[in-house]
Structure 1
Amino acid sequence: MKKWIMLSFLLIYLAGCQPFMGGQAVIDWVDFIQWNGQEYNGVHNSEIADASFIEKEIGEVRFKVADNVSNPSYQLKDGDAAFHEKGTKLYSIKGKDNIIAVKDEAAINGYRIYFAMDNSKYKWHFDDVSLEQVKKIEIYKSATPAGNQQIATIEDKAGIENFLEILSNSKEAPAFQPNTSTGDPISYQIILYTDEPITYKYSVHYDGNTYFWYPSETAILSDDIQHFISEK
């Protein structure tokens, strides 16, 4: 019997216990690509380090399931993708058999990363970073009219160690609520580069009073981070 892949979905009921719309379910898809019998999920905490790490084109999306599939028992097929259009090219990454990529103009280095779910541990949490291997840090301001705007690069050893120490010494504050009285907090993307083709990426936010981020729980950062983040 074929193995059926469990899909992440949300069944939205209309009028309490009424039947589904048209007898179907509304599915809240995770961002995935099915390829070579494996499900690859989007990595939100990473970017490709450089486009030169793209190895070759390995195929393309054959079917976009979002908006086209409403059966929660649907069996994924190679070439299926949650949100990418048919014809989207898939690429391998040098030295990374369990990771594939697609072009993405919104991504900082031009590609969105997907990793194989089978036998693969998600390894892009901040606790997974070998801090001594970080060679460069880039800081981007998010959601500007021009997209992600690079505002700083840290390459000297002392600066890298200082910045990573600020991140490491953040204080968990799960009850913290940012001040939104004057609008949404400003968001920044922090990219940590090692010698690997895949980086680590984390969001830092500033609500006008406090810098904070989400390494696991909400955590408060020292104001010392403004020496690196302040825009010149």
Structure 2
Amino acid sequence: MRFLLLLSVMLVVGGCSFSASEVQTKVDWVDTVCWNGHKYILDEDFGEAEADEKLGEVSFSVVGSEEEDNPSYQLKDGEATFASPGSAIQSVAGVPVEEAILVEDTLYTTREE
């Protein structure tokens, strides 16, 4: 009888364990765009900005992709966390590209980390 009780307890405890592949992670991404070796972050306090030249397009968006819940994913040039693939990346009139860009009329700036 003790054997059956011990076996039952072992089955219940063993059935409640989680493997590493079953653990899910939720990542909160910052609205970011990588372009030409720089990381730009959404800047709602910059003020008015006028588009100048088209520099390129967003090639990949993390949110909505398989990488969305991957906390170790690193953005590459042309990628964004939220901006949709195909979104135009433009320079800002009168501002060096190393400091700010526009992505579909949304301003992103570099910041000291």
CA distance in structure 2 between the partners assigned to 1:35 and 1:75 by the alignment: 13
RMSD between aligned alpha carbons? Answer: 2.3
Alpha-carbon distance in structure 2 between the residues aligned to 1:44 and 1:61: 20
| Matched-pair contact (CA < 8 Å) for 1:54–1:92 | yes
Indicate the structure with greater strand content.
1
Aligned ranges 1:113-152 → 2 under 5 Å: 113-117=107-111, 119=112
Residues 39 and 20 from structure 1, CA distance in 2 versus in 1: closer, same or farther, beyond 3 angstroms? farther
CA shift, 1:74, in A, is: 1.2
Give the whole-Å Cα distance in 2 for the aligned partners of 1:114 and 1:26.
24
Supply the distance in 2 between the matched residues of 1:43 and 1:21 (Cα, whole angstroms): 36
Q: Provide closer, same or farther for how the CA distance between residues 56 and 23 of structure 1 changes in structure 2, counting only shifts above 3 A.
A: same
Does the 8 Å contact 1:24/1:71 carry over to 2? no
What aligned pairs does 1:72-221 form with structure 2 within 5 A after superposition?
72-97=71-96, 98-103=99-104, 111-117=105-111, 119=112
Call closer, same or farther: CA 1:72–1:48 in 2, change over 3 Å.
same
| Greater radius of gyration (CA) | 2
Q: Which runs of 4+ in 1 moved over 3 A?
A: 18-24
What amino acid is aligned across from residue 65 of structure 1 in structure 2? V
**Match of 1:96, SS?**
coil
Q: TM-score, normalised by structure 1?
A: 0.36
Equivalent residue for 2:46?
46
Letter paired with 1:37: G
- The verdict on how the C-alpha distance between 1:71 and 1:54 changes in structure 2, with shifts beyond 3 A counting, is same
The higher-RCO structure (CA 8 Å, 6+ apart) is 2
Deviation, 1:73, is 1.2
1:24 Cα offset (Å): 3.9
Identity among equivalent pairs (%):
35
Q: Which amino acid aligns with 1:90?
A: I
Deviations 1:116-164 (A, max 9, x none): 13x48xxxxxxxxxxxxxxxxxxxxxxxxxxxxxxxxxxxxxxxxxxxx
Paired with 1:24 and 1:34, the residues of 2 have a C-alpha distance of 26
Show the 5 A alignment for 1:5-20. none
Displacement of 1:22 in angstroms is 4.0
Aligned pair 1:60/2:57, yes or no?
Answer: yes
